[in-house]
Amino acid sequence: MAGGIFSPLGSCSELEKANCHPLVCLLCHEPYQHPCLLDCYHNFCASCLRGRASDGRLRCPLCGHPSVVRGGTGLPPVDRLLQFLVDSSADSEEDVQCANCDRCCTKAEVDTMYFCNTCGQPLCAPCREETHRARMFARHEIVSLSKRTKDIHKKCPLHEEPYIMFSTEKKSMLCINCFRDMQGESRAHCIDIETAYMQGCQRLDQAVMAVKELQTSTREAIVLLKAMIEEVRNSASEEEAAINSLFSRMQEQLSERKKTLLKAVQSQHEEKEKAFKEQLAHLASLLPTLQVHLVTCSAFLSSANKAEFLDLGYQLMERLQRIVKLPHRLRPAQTSKINSEYRAEFARCLEPLLMLSPRRSVVGSAGGIGPGITGTNMLPGGQCSKTLMVPSCPPTSDKMSTGPMVKKPTMHRYISTKVLLAEGRETPFAEHCRNYENTYRMLQMEIQGLKDQVQELHRDLTKHHSLIKSEIMSEILQKSLQMDVQIAAHYSAVEMMRSVFEEVWEETYQRVANEQEIYEAQLHDLLQLRQENSCLSTITKQIAPYVRSIAKVKERLEPR
């Protein structure tokens, strides 16, 4: 309903323009007629809201907030405060005439007019000075015209007596009869009109200050949200530009690599076709020779006698044996399969463009356990386990922190190692990989055990608020230090093997490429393992003061 009446307000100035006049209805854009107050504190005319209620609920046409309406009218209660302001505004717009000199004042002169609450008549400034200065008017209450007191606010409608007291308990004015009819306990909450007015003004000032603070905060929030919307728009544009740029570069790289691969395929095709044609020509020339010698043998056997056979037969047999022993290429020297390894080539050309930075943990994301603790992470071998990842903690060793960028992740390194060991070749690097996997698996199990202990302590401290023995913290720190020494020693041992493997790597480049990547991934895994261990120590040290504090509280509570 609101969408059909109001269009979204785009800026703060439009919002202020929409609410610039508090006495104008936002639906009919006319001065309020019997204004009604909804539960969301939006006001509308009674005629504008009539017929909008359904099942005892009325949705605000501006914000859509539902309000409960009671009674047969289907309308919320009338806002008496706003009705008072509307009536006061209507009275101020009427022509005012001095009751003494019958002088009519203009709207510009209304502020200079006065009103005698005793006489109930307006006065101009000259008449106030000349007539109401007399001694007989000394007790008359003269105020500004805007602050005049209406009859309805002067006397009690029940007893027709002037108000003299105010009940802070019932928030209502009392006449002398109302005060007498009250019980003694309720009279203790009654104060005079002037004191109630002063206290009410002070409380109203406090409420106004709170609303002003909320107004300031709301405007700041609007500015912030508009800035965020602009940032989202800019970020989307940048992301789209980056995607288009990367896609264009990928297309260029793939197009260039496609041309290279097609040339390679054509080259292989020409080489294989040439070789096969040469072999075919050789065999084609061999076949008539064999046919001629077979015919020759048949004719020789049918026409030669014994003497001729013994004279020429051995010569023929020797010739036939030599023909058979000649190196004839009867089988294809190569396969007919043309292999360009296009998948690997395409992946290799895209690898520099798709290099991703190391994964960072998201604090507070779904599955998060606490600061720096993520839900699950895939380990080598496809096993899923809880992992502690805090990228902000630096490793303690400068040597281990400065290393070449590893292109293959841990899972790829694990699979590549399995493939290498499955080949069954007994090489120094294969033996090294076999020993490395055993040691790495042992270190990884130790680190995983420490992770589980720290996660359990962190969960108990933050979620269950349970008491933790301080000795456990010391044991974890001690184990962490021992693991750090073991990882550093293993890293040094692996690093010392570099010179040995570099000599082997120089022999064949095709094998070296795979082994180097596996080797660098091993160092990377050790770096990551040590980094996790270092961050584990940092988190444990951060938790330690809270554990000691809880332990002290426990010691104090134990005697009780």
Same domain, 341 and 216: yes
Q: What per-residue confidence (pLDDT) applies to 402?
A: 43
Whether residues 204 and 223 share a domain: the answer is no
Q: Is 559 contained in some domain?
A: no
Same domain, 219 and 242: yes
- Could you tell me which residue, 152 or 554, shows the higher pLDDT? 554
Say yes or no to pLDDT of 401 above 60: no
pLDDT (tens digit per residue) in 324-358: 888 887 888 778 888 888 888 888 888 888 764 43
Question: What confidence score (pLDDT) does residue 266 get?
Answer: 92
Q: Kindly tell me if the per-residue pLDDT of 211 is higher than 50.
A: yes
Cβ atoms of residues 340 and 348 within 8 Å: no
Sign of CA dihedral 482, 484, 489, 491: positive
Residues 206 and 216 in one domain: no
Regarding whether 168 and 203 lie in a shared domain, the answer is: yes
Cα pseudo-dihedral 102, 104, 109, 113, rounded to 10: 30
Placement of tokens 């929409």 in the chain = 18
Q: Cα–Cα–Cα angle for 132, 134, 135, nearest 5°?
A: 125
Q: Would 152 be classed as within a structural domain?
A: yes
Q: Does 347 lie in the same domain as 231? A: yes
Same domain, 186 and 257: no
Say what percent of the chain tops pLDDT 90: 6
Name the more confident of 406 and 248.
248
pLDDT band at 378 (very low <50, low <70, confident <90, very high): very low
Question: Which pLDDT band, with edges at 50, 70 and 90, does 244 fall under?
Answer: very high
Report the alpha-carbon distance of residue 8 to residue 248 in Å, rounded.
39
Q: Residue 151 belongs to what domain range? A: 100-211
Mean pLDDT of the 231-235 span: 90
Question: Is 386's pLDDT higher than 70?
Answer: no
Q: Which positions ≥6 away from 67 have C-beta within 8 Å?
A: 38, 39, 40, 57, 58, 59, 60, 76
The burial class, CB within 10 Å (0-12 / 13-18 / 19+), for 52 is: middle
* Residue 407 reports pLDDT greater than 50: no
Clarify whether residues 81 and 180 are in a common domain.
no
Q: Are residues 61 and 140 in the same domain?
A: no
Summarised one tens digit per residue, pLDDT across range 524-539 is 889 989 888 988 888 8
Position 193 scores a pLDDT of 82
Number of domains in the chain: 3
Q: DSSP letter at 78?
A: B
Q: Region 123-136: what's the mean pLDDT?
A: 75
* Domain C-terminal end among 354, 375, 391: 354
Q: Which tens digit of pLDDT belongs to each residue from 440-449?
A: 888 888 888 8
pLDDT for res 255: 92
E strands, 327-430, in order: 377-378, 384-385
Per-residue pLDDT averaged across 511-522, rounded?
A: 79
- Average of per-residue pLDDT values in the chain: 76
The span from the CA of 472 to the CA of 215, in Å, is: 51
Do the Cβ atoms of 85 and 73 come closer than 8 Å?
no
Per-residue pLDDT tens over the stretch 40-69 = 888 888 888 888 888 788 888 888 888 888
